[in-house]
Copies of this chain bind each other. A is one copy, B any other.
Amino acid sequence: MMYFSAQSNARDVKPAKSAATFNALKRDIMLGVLPAGASLTELDLAAYFSCSQGTVREALLQLQEEGLVRRQGHRGTQVSECTEAEAVEMFRVRQQVECSGILRALQMPSRTLIADLKTLFEKMLGAAAAGDELELASLDRDFHRRLFQDAQLPALDPILHRCLVHNHRFKISRSTSPRDLVATAQRHASIIDAVEAGDVGRSCDALRHHIATIVDLGPDVFPDVRQ
C-alpha cells in the first residue's frame, strides 16, 4: 500500500490545469494540427478540455505571450502565422542576444552550468533517438535558455524564448520528412566543448555558427558564416 502520492515528481512544479490546456494547444500549433489562421473560441476549448472559460483564457494569454496566437477583444483568438521573413529576423535577433549573453555568461559561469548543459544534451540525444521532434525542440529551448541564464539578463529571456519558439515552429513546419534528429542534437556538442574550455572567442563563434546553420536560409541571411 502506498501512503504517499506517486506523482510527487520534483520536476514540473506547475501541476496547474491551465498548463495542460496550454501544452496541448501549443503542441497542436507547433505540429500544424491547428493551422495558421484557425479560430479558437474560449467556450469551445473549455468544453473540449473540460475546464472553465477562465482557465482557457489563461492558457490563451500564455500562448499569446509565446507568439503562437493573436487575441483580439470580442473578435476571437486566431492561430498566428509563421513566415520565413519573421523566422529570419528572429534568427538574427537570437544571434545578437545569445552571443552577447555567452560573453557575459563566461565571465562568471555558475558552477552547475557545464553539468546542466551536459544533462540537457543527453536528454536531447534521447529524444532524438526516440524520434520525438517536439520534445527535442523543447529541450533545445531549455539548453539555450540555460546558457543564457548565466548572462544575468532576465529581461531578455522572454524575448529569447519567443524567438526560440518561433524558430522551432518554423523548422518543424519545414521538415517534410523524418529529419536526422540525432545530428540536430549532436550539433550542440561543440558549444559545450568551447564553454567547458572557457574559451570566450571559440564559444561565441560556435554559438554564432550553430544558430546560423539551424536551417538553410540562403547565403544572404548570415553573410559572415560559410556553411
Q: How many copies does the complex hold?
A: 2
Overall SS of chain A's interface: helix
The one of B16, B86, B155 in contact with A86, judged by C-beta atoms closer than 8 angstroms, is: B155
Residues 24-54 of A at the B interface (beta carbon under 8 Å): 54
Q: Which of A93-101, A129-137, A172-180, A190-198 sits within the interface?
A: A93-101
Given the contacts A16-B73, A54-B54, A73-B16, A156 and B90 also touching, CB distance less than 8 Å:
yes
Size of chain A's interface in residues, with CB distance under 8 A? Answer: 36
Residues 52-73 of A at the B interface (beta carbon under 8 Å): 54, 57-58, 61, 64-65, 67, 70, 73
Q: A158, B162: Cβ atoms under 8 Å?
A: yes
- Which B residues lie within 8 Å of A159 (CB)? 93, 159, 162-163
How distant is A77 from chain B, measured CB to nearest CB, in Å?
14
How distant is A181 from chain B, measured CB to nearest CB, in Å?
25
The reply on A142 being an interface residue by CB < 8 A is no
- Which B residues lie within 8 Å of A97 (CB)? 89, 93
- Of chain B, the residue at the smallest CB distance from A80 is B155
- Which B residues lie within 8 Å of A13 (CB)? 73
- Which B residues lie within 8 Å of A86 (CB)? 153-156
The one of B81, B82, B100 in contact with A89, judged by C-beta atoms closer than 8 angstroms, is: B100
Report which residue of A58, A152, A158 has the largest number of chain B beta carbons within 10 angstroms of its beta carbon: A158
Task: Give 17 pairs: A residue, B residue, CB < 8 Å, sorted on A.
Answer: A13-B73, A14-B73, A16-B73, A57-B58, A58-B61, A64-B65, A70-B154, A80-B154, A81-B155, A83-B153, A86-B154, A86-B156, A89-B156, A93-B96, A93-B159, A158-B162, A159-B159
The reply on A166 being an interface residue by CB < 8 A is yes
- Which B residues lie within 8 Å of A108 (CB)? none
- Which B residues lie within 8 Å of A90 (CB)? 155-156
- Of chain B, the residue at the smallest CB distance from A65 is B65
The reply on A10 being an interface residue by CB < 8 A is no
Q: A89, B153: Cβ atoms under 8 Å?
A: yes
The reply on A92 being an interface residue by CB < 8 A is yes
